[in-house]
């Protein structure tokens, strides 16, 4: 079980809003809606990221044209329900969508305010500003 912590401030975590299944950044309060179980699938060579607060929900990209939405949805084992973890040299991860690995988890506008949406976005090149790069880097903090 893990919390997904943004590199922007090393404290805010990926949070499931139980009222609408939106996924946002939020201050860490230790709730189950901020905990995720990573389940590796060898056939897909990717992970499903399952909500601890609702075991039927997985982190997913809403893979419709022009959508950047990330949300929690009932598991249908679609490609967009799987994620590839790319480890960075500094202990963080870039989390890429299996259906389109050019799209990665991203904190909207590099903001850390509670309720900032998590979306997918093309991966920033290493020449980008550090806050843009850090908006796409996450640490997996083990929790129980």
Asked whether the CA dihedral 51, 26, 14, 35 is positive or negative, the reply is negative
Tens of pLDDT, residue by residue over 84-130, are: 999 999 999 999 999 999 999 999 999 999 999 999 999 998 888 88
Centre a 10 Å sphere on the Cβ of residue 31 and count the other Cβ atoms it contains. Answer: 14
Tens of pLDDT, residue by residue over 55-97, are: 999 999 999 989 999 999 999 999 999 999 999 999 999 999 9
What's the rounded Cα separation, in Å, for the pair 138 and 14?
9
What's the rounded Cα separation, in Å, for the pair 22 and 45?
26
Cross-strand partners of 72: 59
Task: Sketch the domain layout of the chain as residue ranges.
Answer: 2-142
Contact partners, residue 81, CB within 8 Å, separation at least 6: 48, 58, 59, 60, 73, 75, 98
What's the rounded Cα separation, in Å, for the pair 33 and 36?
8
Do residues 81 and 58 lie in contact, with contact meaning Cβ atoms separated by under 8 Å? yes
Instruction: Supply the CATH classification number for the domain 2-142.
Output: 2.80.10.50
């Amino acid at each position: 079980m893990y919390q997904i912590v943004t590199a922007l401030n090393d404290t805010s975590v990926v949070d499931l809003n139980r009222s609408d299944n939106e996924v946002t950044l939020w201050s860490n309060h230790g709730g189950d809606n901020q905990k995720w179980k990573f389940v590796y699938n060898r056939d897909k060579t990717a992970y499903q990221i399952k909500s601890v607060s609702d075991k039927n929900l997985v982190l997913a990209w809403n893979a419709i044209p022009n959508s950047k939405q990330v949300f929690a949805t009932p598991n249908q084992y679609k490609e967009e329900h799987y994620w590839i973890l790319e480890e960075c040299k500094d202990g963080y991860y870039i989390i890429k969508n299996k259906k389109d690995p050019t799209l990665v988890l991203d904190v909207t506008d590099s903001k850390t305010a509670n309720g900032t949406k998590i979306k997918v976005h093309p991966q920033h090149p290493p020449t980008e500003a550090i806050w843009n790069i850090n908006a796409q880097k996450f640490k997996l903090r083990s929790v129980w």
